[in-house]
Every structure is written in structure tokens, then in C-alpha cells.
Amino acid sequence: MAGSNEVNANESKMAVPLNTWVLISNFKLAYNMLRRPDGTFDRHLAEFLDRKVPANATPVNGVISFDVLIGRTSKLLSRIYRPAPSTSAAVPLLADLYQPPSADPFPVIIFFHGGSFAHSSSNSAIYDSLCRRFVSLCGAVVVSVNYRRSPEYKYPCAYDDGWAALKWASAEPWLQSGKDAKFRVFLAGDSSGGNIAHHVAVRAAESGIEVSGNILLNPMFGGNCRTESEKRLDGKYFVTIRDRDWYWKAYLPEGADRDHPACNPFGPNAAKLDGLPFTKSLIIVAGLDLVQDWQLAYAEGLKKAGHSVKLVYREQATIGFYLLPNTDHFYQVMDEIKNFVMANVQ
């Protein structure tokens, strides 16, 4: 679509505020520089360009964060966000960090950041902001998993890391709450993170770990065929079919195509989810996201398998609308997320 850049840029300009346009276009440009045609990735430059923030145990707007090592052998890190513990000290002590934030039931949100399986980390500034917001929104403890990324680590590494994080969190006594000392966990993620949340939820359902809800923000799914939305929106709102193909190729196993069940969970190769105690889902779809047909098919697939789905379709939203708090889409979706969590945390 090289020749039609002008037309493309104009349409996206009308859809988002200026600072959002700058942010997402900057990402798009930077990411273009990192994906090599031979399928390798300039990880060094990627880490240099990614804006990161350190963990901060000093409360900022009532929220603190700290990093924990979840698996010593896998070196899996996660960043924990939680309401500031009530202590008279200016900076909480280590013991304070692991106190439950409340005796009343509180949600634990295991969050998988986006980035199409290749980009970003738990300490990326954009995801640090989002996780802090979840804490304030729901009084939650958020565990942001720093899963291994492609192309260096392909399927199923990201899912394995997600599962390890869920197992770790379910065994932490301070994450249990309420009179029944229950682990009230939600799996959440945007883009590839949404995809990971789905697959970890399947594993949880198969293994008897109860998940209170899935929150998928513009989840990343795909398939071999080109859907109508992909053709219609290709290159128009920051994303192209070509870059989607590159990321799937980088994540999926050598020789696999996009009907692999990781990419297409309701495709020809997928296992059935009927009868599984799969959790409830809140799925948010942006109307200007080219993969929306896959996301809508995913929601349909869950419903047909007998599982509860709440679908929120934001017609005028683009990808990344949840990164900056400057639109109705942002605030109304945060509201939906909060209501979903509050309704399902008991």
C-alpha cells in the first residue's frame, strides 16, 4: 500500500486526538524499523526505543508497584501493582507489600501487555499507566507478566509464562480474600495479551483453576482467509495486513499457517470448548481495527460453545484507544471493565 500513504494518513487523523495520533504513528514507524524481511527482529533497537519506567514503591496516586521473579529457572519477571498499603512509613516496608490490600474480596488481575507478541514489556510506560489505572479502578492487585516474546521465543512460550504466572499467583496467600479466602482472579490483556489471556483461561478451565473473568481489549486473533474488515481497513488506521502476517509468522511454529489454533481458536484445527468450565468474557472490539472480524468471530465462537460473553463494540475507536485517557472510548471502556470486575469478584 506504499503509494496510498497520504490517503491512509488522512483518515486516521480524523479518528483520534492529535497526541494519540502522534503516539501510535510513532509506534508504527518505530516498529517498521524493527521487523526485518527475513523474519528476524532488531531487539537491541527495540529495547532502546521502548520507553520504560522503573517500579515505584512510593505511592503515586495511591498505587505502588514492585517487581517479582516468578520462575527462577525461566527468569520470568512480573510487575505487581497494588493499592498503597496503609502504613505510616513514607515508603512501604517489604512486609507491607505482601499484605492483602483489603480483608474484603478484591480482584487479582493478571495482565498480559500487548505488542503483537514481539514488542513491549511489563515496564513499558504505556502499560505501567494502564495497570495503575486498573488498580485505582477496581482496588485490584495487578500482576503484569513479562512473558517471553517472539521471534526469539515462539509458541507456546508466552502461554507457558502466562500459565506459570497464574499458578504462582494462585498459591500466594496474600492474594486470597474474603471470608472464604478465595483467589479471585481475572485474566486481562490487550492485543497479543488478549490472545494469551484466552489460552491461559482454557488451560485454567482444563485444570480446575477457577477464573472470575476474562477481559480482552482488542485481542489479537487471525486466520488464513482475508476477512472483509481486513481488506476494507488495510493500512487505514495504523495497521496493515502485512505487519499482522509478519507477527504471526514470528510467533507461530515453523511451517504453521494462520489456522493454527493459537491464532484461530475457532478455526478448523481448534479443540472444542463446549462443556469446559471456561470463564465469562468481556471482549472489547474497536470498529476501526482491521482484525475485528476475527474478534467478533471469537466472541461468537465462545457463545456457541455455551460461554458467557459481553461484547463492547466501539464503532469509532482505533487500536490503542486505551493508551491515553483522552476520549469517551477510554472512559466508557474503563467503566465497562470496572463494572465487569465488580460484578464478578464475589
Partner 1 sequence: MSSSFRSDMGTDPYDSVGDDRWIIASASDRGSSRGEIDSLLHGAGYRVRSTDLRHVAIGLEQLESTMVGDQCVASSAEAIHYNPSDLTAWVDSMLSELAPDPHLLRHPLSTAAANTWADPTQQRPSLHRLENHHQHRNVPAVSLQSMDEEEDAAIRLVHLLVSCADSVQRGDSEMAGSLLDQTRLALARVNTGFGIGKVAGYFVDALCRRLYPPPPSATGGGGSAANLEILYHHFYEACPYIKFAHFTANQAILEAFQGHDRVHVVDFNLMHGLQWPALIQALALRPGGPPLLRLTGIGAPSPDGRDALREVGLRLAELARSVQVRFAFRGVAATRLEHVRPWMFQVAPGEAVAVNTVLQLHRLLGDRASPEGGDAAAAEPIDTVLEWIVGLKPKIVTVVEQEADHNKPSFLDRFTEALFYYSTMFDSLEGGRVGGSHRGGQQQQQTVVAAVAEAYLQREMCNIVCCEGAARVERHEPLARWRDRLGRAGLRAVHLGSNAFKQASMLLTLFSGEGYCVEEVAGCLTLGWHSRPLISASAWRADDADDASPPRDHQTLVLQDHSSSITSGSNNVVDGDDHLHQHSVMRSHMGSSDRINDTGSGSSCSRV
Please tell me the count of residues contacting partner 1 according to CB under 8 A. Answer: 64
When asked if residue 245 is in the footprint of partner 1 (CB under 8 A), the reply is no
- Residue 15 CA to residue 13 CA, distance in Å, equals 5
C-alpha cell at 126: 504505556
> How does DSSP classify residue 326?
-
When asked if residue 95 is in the footprint of partner 1 (CB under 8 A), the reply is no
Stretch 110-129: interaction string toward partner 1, x if CB under 8 A: --------------xxx--x
Tell which residue, 248, 228, 218, 250, has the closest CA to residue 321: 218
Tell which residue, 314, 289, 172, has the closest CA to residue 221: 289
The residue (of 129 and 308) whose beta carbon lies closer to partner 1 is: 129
Do 219 and 295 form a contact (C-beta atoms < 8 A)? yes
Stretch 147-166: interaction string toward partner 1, x if CB under 8 A: --------------------
Applying CB under 8 A, the span of 53-61, 147-155, 221-229, 261-269 interacting with partner 1 comes to 53-61
When asked if residue 56 is in the footprint of partner 1 (CB under 8 A), the reply is yes
When asked if residue 42 is in the footprint of partner 1 (CB under 8 A), the reply is yes
Site for partner 1 in 20-39 (CB under 8 A): 20-23, 25-26, 28-30, 32-37
Do 210 and 133 form a contact (C-beta atoms < 8 A)? no
The residue (of 240 and 295) whose beta carbon lies closer to partner 1 is: 240
List 43, 53, 147, 154, residue binding partner 1 (CB under 8 A)? 53
Residues constituting the chain: 346
Exactly one of 120, 177, 191, 229 is catalytic; name it: 191
Do 136 and 63 form a contact (C-beta atoms < 8 A)? yes
- Residue 173 CA to residue 178 CA, distance in Å, equals 12
Do 118 and 49 form a contact (C-beta atoms < 8 A)? no
In the complex, minimum distance from the CB of residue 277 to partner 1, in angstroms, rounded to a whole number: 29
Whether 116 is a known active-site residue: answer no
Residue 44 CB: number of other CB atoms within 10 A?
9
Residue 144's contacts (CB-CB under 8 Å, 6 or more residues apart) are 78, 79, 80, 81, 111, 112, 113, 122, 127, 131
- Residue 243 CA to residue 222 CA, distance in Å, equals 12
> How does DSSP classify residue 90?
S
In the complex, minimum distance from the CB of residue 104 to partner 1, in angstroms, rounded to a whole number: 9
When asked if residue 326 is in the footprint of partner 1 (CB under 8 A), the reply is yes
The residue (of 18 and 95) whose beta carbon lies closer to partner 1 is: 18
Q: Which residues pair with 143 in a beta bridge?
A: 80, 110
Site for partner 1 in 65-84 (CB under 8 A): 83-84
In the complex, minimum distance from the CB of residue 127 to partner 1, in angstroms, rounded to a whole number: 10
Applying CB under 8 A, the span of 9-17, 173-181, 182-190, 222-230 interacting with partner 1 comes to 9-17
When asked if residue 296 is in the footprint of partner 1 (CB under 8 A), the reply is no
CA distances from 14 to 171, 238, 240 (A): 48, 13, 18
Applying CB under 8 A, the span of 57-65, 143-151, 182-190, 268-276 interacting with partner 1 comes to 57-65
When asked if residue 224 is in the footprint of partner 1 (CB under 8 A), the reply is no
- Residue 289 CA to residue 329 CA, distance in Å, equals 14
- What's CA 96's distance to the chain center, in Å? 28
List 39, 43, 52, 303, residue binding partner 1 (CB under 8 A)? 52
Active site members = 191
The residues that touch partner 1, with contacts defined as CB under 8 A, are 2, 5-6, 9-10, 13-23, 25-26, 28-30, 32-37, 42, 45, 48-49, 51-54, 56, 59-62, 83-84, 86, 88-90, 124-126, 129, 136-139, 316, 323-328, 335, 338-339
